[in-house]
Amino acid sequence: MSYNILKGKKGIIFGALDEKSIAWKVAKRAKEEGAEFVLSNAPLAMRMGEIKRLAEECNAEIIPADATSVEDLENLFTKAQEILGGKIDFVLHSIGMSPNIRKGKDYGDLNYEWFLKTLDISALSFHKVMHVAEKQDAMNEWGSIVALSYIAAQRVFPDYTDMSQAKAVLESIARNYGYRLGRQKKVRVNTVSQSPTKTTAGTGVGGFDAFYEYSDKMSPLGNASAETCADYCITLFSDLTRMVTMQNLMHDGGFSSMGISEDIVDMISK
């Protein structure tokens, strides 16, 4: 159902790879709610994914950008404002990748150069996005910037390895830049801590099926889907959440408040 709550708003959506991506679902919902936006992803991800199909479905233009490159981001924000005919109202940062996880490195045997790459791609890129937006004065007042996180920033999930640190840095950046942009232009900055989700990136983490089943059994509402995460992001882009900022918002079916559930007890007792 559409409520038209983003009518007239303009945005940038990072990270749509394929139809499993949360960013893909956000783009579809943003279109349904009346927004205009540009799509962006790294050139390599664009070659691997299906973003052109999404762009056609949403009548959106694609601007390739490596989110770790300030120069690429400067070009992105400049072109986005030209294409959309004005400043930006919302940004989705749905970017994360760990070379250590991709190559199966154990947490006690990390490649530190790859670790730095994990931090740059998955967390520092968020700072760079807001740095460029600030320098270009690209955001409208009362705009909204959202990044996707995971509870491994606060708790230990062994197979998540260095992405845990990346998510912790991401959430810290949201708080610090949220203060800065809030004071300057009433722009709010939040992270959404999502349930394990069957995206292309998520299922690449070792032991994902166990993550997913455990979380689903622990959560009284079950795991939050990519579709419901998109719905939540849309509310954060809207004017209905104007006073919500600098928060790490748990979108996880109640998982983060649980100690143990009856389903887990039953599973262990068998």
The conformation of residue 35, written as its DSSP 8-state character, comes to -
- Number of residues that this document lists for the chain: 270
Active-site pick, 112, 150, 177, 212: 150
CA dist 143 and 205 (Å) reads 33
Active-site pick, 112, 160, 177, 232: 160
CA dist 30 and 17 (Å) reads 16
Catalytic annotation present for 3: no
Q: Which residue has the tokens 């045997």?
A: 109
Dmax (CA) for the chain in angstroms is: 61
Decide: 218 and 261 in contact? Cβ < 8 Å.
yes
CA dist 229 and 218 (Å) reads 18
Catalytic annotation present for 107: no
Question: At residue 79, what is the residue type?
Answer: K
List helix spans (H) across 198-260.
208-218, 226-237
Residues designated as active site: 150, 160
